[in-house]
């Protein structure tokens, strides 16, 4: 399954402040099978979560948002690992 720009717009349009967290899919129950292809894993996540940008973990509602001008995930993780290794 291919995620389209329209799907991303729909995913991001959810207002986490007004949605009942109990109605969101609970990501803590998601079990990923790394033996599946990326396409099948993507389809599985979409099937289970419905919205990969807005879900819950237990009782807490979570919405992922990304800043177009922010650092890349790789840059953030690299900085995190450098800080962890140096003991900060």
Instruction: Tell me the longest C-alpha to C-alpha distance in the chain.
Output: 42
Query: How many Å apart are CA 57 and CA 66, to the nearest integer?
Result: 19
**CA 34, 39, 70, 66 torsion: positive or negative?**
negative
pTM confidence score: 0.66
pLDDT for res 56: 93
The angle at the Cα of 51, spanning 21 to 32, to the nearest 5 degrees, equals 100
DSSP H/E element including 55:
strand 54-57
What would the mean pLDDT of 54-78 be, rounded to a whole number? 87
- Write down the pLDDT at residue 57: 92
Q: State the average pLDDT over residues 61-81.
A: 86
pLDDT at 35: 93
- Whether residue 81 contacts residue 42, with contact meaning beta carbons closer than 8 Å, is answered with no
Question: What pLDDT shows up at residue 61?
Answer: 92
Asked whether the predicted pLDDT for residue 58 surpasses 80, the reply is yes
Tens digit of each residue's pLDDT (9 = 90 or more) over 14-48: 888 898 889 999 999 888 888 999 889 888 888 99
For 52, the token pair is 């990969």
């Amino acid at each position: 399954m291919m995620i389209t720009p329209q799907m991303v717009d729909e995913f991001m349009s959810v207002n986490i402040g007004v949605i009942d967290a109990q109605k969101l899919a609970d990501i803590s129950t998601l079990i990923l099978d790394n033996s599946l292809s990326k396409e099948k894993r993507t389809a599985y996540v979409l099937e289970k979560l419905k919205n990969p940008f807005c879900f819950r973990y237990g009782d807490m509602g979570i919405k992922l948002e990304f800043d177009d001008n922010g650092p890349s995930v790789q840059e953030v993780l690299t900085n995190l690992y450098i800080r962890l290794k140096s003991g900060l």
